[in-house]
């Protein structure tokens, strides 16, 4: 006996059910957040499990509410404007949109939304991707590119940018800036006596002392080896007064670096010991204002003054005559 074939309407219904089932599986299993909105009202029609997990709100807390009524988006002042733009253009994208979880933590996301027609109803699908890992990696790469790995101070590349900023600040305010070039006087003895690990520990301590001597807005950079550079902007507009201010900071730095360093020393098979080490610094200074001289010239002036301090006996401060 022959089996009757499915009617066309039945086949269409089955195909639709298969399609809906396939979409539902993708929706539920997606490792990006998916938010479905009514295009006319902004009301949330559905939200997938990943977004619930990411933001900490339950399905019920999302469902039926307007986009700007739910915590993560209520925290965004522009959420209503964002939806208005979406209605007008059918597409909105944010490459880095910070959203807050229910617990109050901030999560950076990539937010992409599109409008499409579903059985005669316009639906907005918002895809929300957590980019915390990517941003962390970008920050690590930035750290490697612009900061010294040992001391975490700005490196020579970032120093150039900071010096440019200090020169620009002087142009706006009319005040002087100063660059200080520092070299630790007897650092080589530490490496020779105790090894590079102990020398690295001393450099780390010296970096911390330098940072403690200046303001948060000032720059302390590691130039290389046992050489450091300090950049201070917004000194007095009068050259003599600016020189006095710079001298006070340099003396504070010289005194701080001259204090004994307590260094931990360990050798394989032996108990850890500690030793005090005196390590002073020779400091060369060069005042600058606006763009009266190039960065290279200012650095050369300060470097030359530092060598004058070395030649005069170390643990001294000298000001470059060309910049005085």
DSSP 120: T
- Cα(236)–Cα(54) distance, integer angstroms: 51
CA distance 247 to 319: 9
Distance of CA 91 to CAs 67, 114, 115, 126, Å? 15, 5, 7, 9
Given a contact cutoff of 8 angstroms between Cβ atoms, the answer to whether 310 and 187 are in contact is no
Separation CA 230–CA 159 (nearest Å)? 9
Among 148, 183, 185, 226, the one annotated catalytic: 226
Please report, to the nearest 10 degrees, the dihedral formed by the alpha carbons of residues 189, 192, 195, 198 taken in order. Answer: 0
**Beta-carbon contacts of residue 76 (< 8 Å; ≥ 6 apart):** 68, 82, 97, 99
Q: How far is CA 12 from CA 6, 8, 9, 15, 120, in A?
A: 10, 6, 5, 5, 17
Q: Residue 110 in contact with residue 94, Cβ under 8 Å?
A: yes
Is 95 assigned a catalytic role? no
Specify burial of residue 156 (Cβ count, 10 A radius: 0-12, 13-18, 19+).
middle
Catalytic positions, written as ranges: 226
């Amino acid at each position: 006996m022959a089996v009757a074939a499915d009617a066309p309407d039945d086949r269409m219904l089955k195909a639709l059910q298969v399609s809906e089932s396939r979409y539902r599986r993708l929706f539920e299993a997606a490792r990006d957040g998916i938010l479905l909105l009514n295009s006319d009202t902004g009301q949330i029609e559905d939200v997938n499990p990943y977004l619930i997990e990411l933001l900490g709100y339950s399905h019920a807390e999302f469902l039926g509410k307007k986009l700007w009524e739910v915590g993560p988006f209520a925290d965004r002042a522009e959420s209503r404007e964002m939806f208005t733009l979406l209605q007008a253009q059918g597409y909105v994208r944010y490459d880095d949109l910070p959203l807050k979880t229910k617990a109050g933590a901030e999560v950076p996301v990539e937010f992409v939304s599109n409008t499409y027609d579903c059985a005669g109803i316009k639906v907005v699908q918002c895809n929300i991707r957590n980019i915390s890992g990517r941003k962390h990696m970008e920050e690590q790469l930035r750290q490697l590119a612009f900061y010294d790995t040992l001391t975490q101070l700005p490196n020579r590349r970032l120093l150039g940018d900071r010096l440019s900023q200090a020169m620009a600040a002087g142009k706006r305010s009319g005040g002087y800036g100063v660059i200080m070039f520092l070299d630790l006087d007897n650092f080589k003895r530490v490496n020779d006596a105790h090894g590079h690990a102990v020398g690295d520990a001393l450099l780390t301590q010296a970096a911390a002392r330098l940072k403690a001597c200046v303001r948060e807005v000032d720059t302390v950079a590691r130039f290389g080896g046992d050489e450091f550079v300090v950049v201070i902007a917004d000194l007095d507009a009068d050259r003599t007064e600016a020189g006095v201010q710079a001298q006070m900071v340099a003396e504070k730095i010289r005194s701080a670096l001259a204090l004994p360093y307590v260094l931990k020393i360990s050798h394989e098979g032996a108990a850890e010991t500690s030793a005090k080490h005196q390590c002073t610094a020779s400091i060369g200074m060069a005042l600058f204002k606006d763009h009266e001289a190039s960065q290279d010239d200012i650095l050369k002036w300060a470097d030359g003054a530092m060598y004058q301090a070395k030649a005069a006996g170390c643990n001294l401060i000298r000001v470059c005559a060309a910049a005085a």
